[in-house]
């Protein structure tokens, strides 16, 4: 009998624990090393807690709009402490679930910080324990990026982790950064009644998202009370009597924005410190581990997945990359295909996007574009959420779908259909002829495709 393949995974987030479960299921003896909490950033300080608070804000909005549906509410009160407690309860339940899954698969979970000694050996810093392995997967994730602004020393500037631990709802918030993280925090605090300003140095919010979608999201959030400033270069910060003032410049004009709290939402950076990467000769580029299309580093037998690779820094991408790495460890060398990774923003309305934006597609292909407005969708009208649209970009000659972009209710759920279709090289004709249930929001995808092939039914 041959001995089991010994695999050690460094990091228990969504780039680590799914790999541990898959590898154990495939027959490996798996050790998972985590220095903090199982579930990583996504479960503990990212995806899950923010969505819990975003949903709480949606409930508030439902209360505000209740009379539209013939329901009279005498009033409501925002209990921020209770919202935060529920957020934590959801996180705890899911983390306990991860612990149970690992236990069920007999994964050896070690609490501590791992350092690579050689391509088959790691050391636990806190205990000195040495673990020998046949294969190693590095999934140490990322951490909030920090910028040192003039005047910022000594001020209580919150990153996304710290914003999720607030005990009191601030009356006003300035968010530096208009990417996905900044916009979701803007949505949370705005929906709960805080005054919110978003300062983004680029000319558009939600960088990387199709510009039509990003512009529409900005317009809707502005109408709902979020002050969004693009092209804002931060000059300095000043704090006095529980308020922080941000001095910035737009097109040469000096301006200020102030709030009880300032949240730094300026992106994330890979976590590689403490791994011993330099000493071991691990290839690093722009702070991230360099990997092949099968997620292997330049050291044979050492793999990496998730944010530490600096590629698509999304939880679902990390999980997919880690599964690709485990397959490669077992000799199933299929490359990681990243052309159909969905990008989501959980604001209200939501944004779901996959594939090429219109601008990127035009640079490479002769394209056609189809649209369908949600104001023409029966289910959207029933929900009283008609702001938004579906946009499809396709290659003109063969009709292959190159990108799908949605802004509207449940866009983050609807985009999965496009992901599946694009993974199978779906054409516009196939999407247009696929029978969709009525009345649903998903019909809008079909109608957008139909608009490119003779015309949508519910659009002039």
Kindly state the percentage of the chain with pLDDT values over 90: 95
Answer whether residue 343 is part of any domain: no
| Confidence at 456, pLDDT banded by 50, 70, 90 | very high
Residues 19 and 139 reside in one and the same domain:
yes
Residue pair 28/325 in contact by the 8 Å Cβ criterion: no
Take residue 208 and report the two structure tokens written for it: 């990387």
Q: Which of 104, 112, 142 is nearest to 34 (CA)?
A: 112
Out of 231, 266, 301, pick the residue that ends a domain.
266
Residues 221 and 279 reside in one and the same domain:
no
Out of 266, 290, 306, pick the residue that ends a domain.
266
Out of 248, 266, 284, pick the residue that ends a domain.
266
Predicted pLDDT at 333 = 83
Supply angle C-alpha 392, 372, 190, rounded to 5. 95
Residues 161 and 189 reside in one and the same domain:
yes
Answer whether residue 374 is part of any domain: yes
Condensed to tens digits (0 to 9), the pLDDT of residues 110-121 reads: 999 999 999 999
Q: Domain containing 246 — which CATH number?
A: 3.50.50.60
Could you give the CA distance from residue 199 to residue 14 in angstroms, rounded to a whole number? 30
Condensed to tens digits (0 to 9), the pLDDT of residues 256-308 reads: 999 999 999 999 999 999 999 889 999 999 999 999 999 999 999 999 999 99
Please indicate whether residue 438 is annotated as part of the active site: yes
Task: Tell me the average pLDDT across 348-367.
Answer: 97
Predicted pLDDT at 22 = 97
Is the pLDDT assigned to residue 3 strictly greater than 90? no
Residue pair 260/170 in contact by the 8 Å Cβ criterion: yes
The DSSP string of 76-97 is ----HHHHHHHHHHHHHHHHHH
Burial of 92 (0-12, 13-18, 19+ CB in 10 A): middle
Could you give the CA distance from residue 105 to residue 98 in angstroms, rounded to a whole number? 11
Q: Which of 147, 142, 119, 430 is nearest to 300 (CA)?
A: 119
Q: Residue 157 carries which DSSP code? A: E
| Confidence at 460, pLDDT banded by 50, 70, 90 | confident
Condensed to tens digits (0 to 9), the pLDDT of residues 166-208 reads: 999 999 999 999 999 999 999 999 999 999 999 999 999 999 9
Answer whether residue 293 is part of any domain: yes
Residues 112 and 11 reside in one and the same domain:
yes
Residues 140 and 27 reside in one and the same domain:
yes
Is the pLDDT assigned to residue 133 strictly greater than 50? yes
Is the pLDDT assigned to residue 2 strictly greater than 60? no
Residues 249 and 274 reside in one and the same domain:
no
Predicted pLDDT at 73 = 85
Other beta carbons within 10 Å of 19 = 30
| Confidence at 227, pLDDT banded by 50, 70, 90 | very high
Task: Tell me the average pLDDT across 56-62.
Answer: 95
Answer whether residue 97 is part of any domain: yes
Q: Domain containing 427 — which CATH number?
A: 3.30.390.30
Residues 247 and 284 reside in one and the same domain:
no
Catalytic residue among 146, 339, 433, 438: 438
Residues 127 and 35 reside in one and the same domain:
yes
Burial of 409 (0-12, 13-18, 19+ CB in 10 A): buried
- Domain housing 89: 6-144+269-329
Residues 279 and 200 reside in one and the same domain:
no
Answer whether residue 18 is part of any domain: yes
Take residue 437 and report the two structure tokens written for it: 């249930």
Residues 275 and 262 reside in one and the same domain:
no
- Record the pTM: 0.95
Could you give the CA distance from residue 453 to residue 391 in angstroms, rounded to a whole number? 14
Tell whether the torsion through CA atoms of 261, 51, 443 and 450 is positive or negative: positive
Predicted pLDDT at 231 = 97
Mean pLDDT of the chain: 96
Other beta carbons within 10 Å of 57 = 20
Supply angle C-alpha 291, 267, 12, rounded to 5. 55
Condensed to tens digits (0 to 9), the pLDDT of residues 382-438 reads: 999 999 999 999 999 999 999 999 999 999 999 999 999 999 999 999 999 999 999
Is the pLDDT assigned to residue 138 strictly greater than 60? yes
| Confidence at 334, pLDDT banded by 50, 70, 90 | confident
Task: Tell me the average pLDDT across 365-386.
Answer: 97
Predicted pLDDT at 338 = 86
Residues 134 and 28 reside in one and the same domain:
yes
Residue with tokens 């960088």: 207
- Ramachandran region of residue 370, left (φ > 0), alpha (ψ -120 to 50) or beta? beta
Could you give the CA distance from residue 208 to residue 213 in angstroms, rounded to a whole number? 10
Answer whether residue 458 is part of any domain: no
Answer whether residue 224 is part of any domain: yes
What is the maximal distance between C-alpha atoms in the chain?
74
Beta bridge partners of 195: 172
Predicted pLDDT at 1 = 36
Per the structure, the count of domains in the chain is 3
Q: Residue 175 carries which DSSP code? A: E
Task: Tell me the average pLDDT across 354-372.
Answer: 97
Answer whether residue 424 is part of any domain: yes
Residues 102 and 168 reside in one and the same domain:
no
Could you give the CA distance from residue 272 to residue 302 in angstroms, rounded to a whole number? 14
| Confidence at 337, pLDDT banded by 50, 70, 90 | confident
């Amino acid at each position: 009998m041959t001995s089991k393949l010994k695999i050690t995974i460094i990091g228990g987030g969504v780039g680590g624990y799914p790999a541990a479960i898959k590898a154990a299921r495939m027959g490996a003896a798996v050790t998972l090393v985590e220095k903090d909490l199982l579930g990583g950033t996504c479960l503990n300080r990212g995806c899950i807690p923010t969505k819990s608070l975003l949903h709480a804000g949606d409930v508030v909005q439902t209360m505000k709009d209740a009379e539209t549906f013939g329901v009279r509410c005498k009033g409501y009160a925002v209990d921020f402490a209770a919202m935060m407690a529920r957020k934590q309860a959801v996180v705890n339940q899911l983390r306990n679930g991860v612990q149970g899954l690992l236990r069920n698969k007999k994964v050896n979970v070690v609490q501590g910080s791992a350092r690579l000694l050689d391509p088959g050996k790691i050391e636990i810093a806190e205990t000195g324990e040495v673990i020998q392995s046949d294969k190693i997967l590095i999934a140490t994730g990322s951490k909030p990026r920090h910028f040192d602004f003039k005047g910022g020393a000594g001020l209580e500037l919150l990153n996304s982790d710290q914003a999720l631990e607030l005990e009191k709802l601030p009356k006003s918030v300035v968010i530096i950064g208009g990417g996905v993280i900044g916009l979701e925090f803007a949505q949370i605090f705005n929906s709960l009644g805080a005054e919110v300003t978003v300062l983004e140095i680029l000319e558009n919010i939600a960088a990387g998202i199709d510009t039509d979608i990003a512009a529409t999201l900005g317009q809707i959030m502005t109408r709902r009370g979020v002050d969004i400033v693009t092209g804002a270069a931060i000059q300095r910060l000043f704090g006095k009597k529980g308020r922080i003032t941000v001095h910035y410049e737009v097109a040469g004009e000096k301006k200020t924005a102030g709030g009880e709290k300032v949240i730094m939402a300026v992106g994330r950076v890979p976590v590689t410190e403490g791994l011993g990467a330099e000493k071991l000769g691990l290839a690093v580029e722009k702070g991230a581990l360099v990997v092949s299309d099968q997620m292997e580093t330049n050291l044979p037998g050492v793999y990496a997945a998730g944010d530490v690779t600096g590629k698509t820094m999304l939880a679902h991408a990390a999980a997919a990359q880690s599964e690709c790495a485990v397959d490669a460890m077992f000799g199933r060398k299929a490359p990681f295909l990243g052309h159909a990774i969905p990008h989501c923003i959980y604001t209200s309305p939501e944004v779901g996007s996959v594939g090429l934006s219109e601008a990127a597609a035009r640079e490479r292909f002769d394209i056609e574009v189809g649209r369908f407005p949600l104001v023409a969708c029966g289910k959207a009208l029933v929900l009283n959420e008609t702001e938004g649209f579906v946009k499809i970009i396709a290659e003109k000659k063969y009709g292959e779908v190159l990108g799908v972009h949605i802004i509207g209710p449940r866009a983050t759920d609807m985009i999965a259909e496009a992901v599946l279709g694009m993974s199978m090289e779906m054409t516009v004709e196939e999407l247009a002829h696929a029978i969709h249930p009525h009345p649903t929001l998903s019909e809008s995808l079909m109608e957008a495709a139909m608009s490119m092939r003779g015309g949508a039914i519910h659009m002039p």
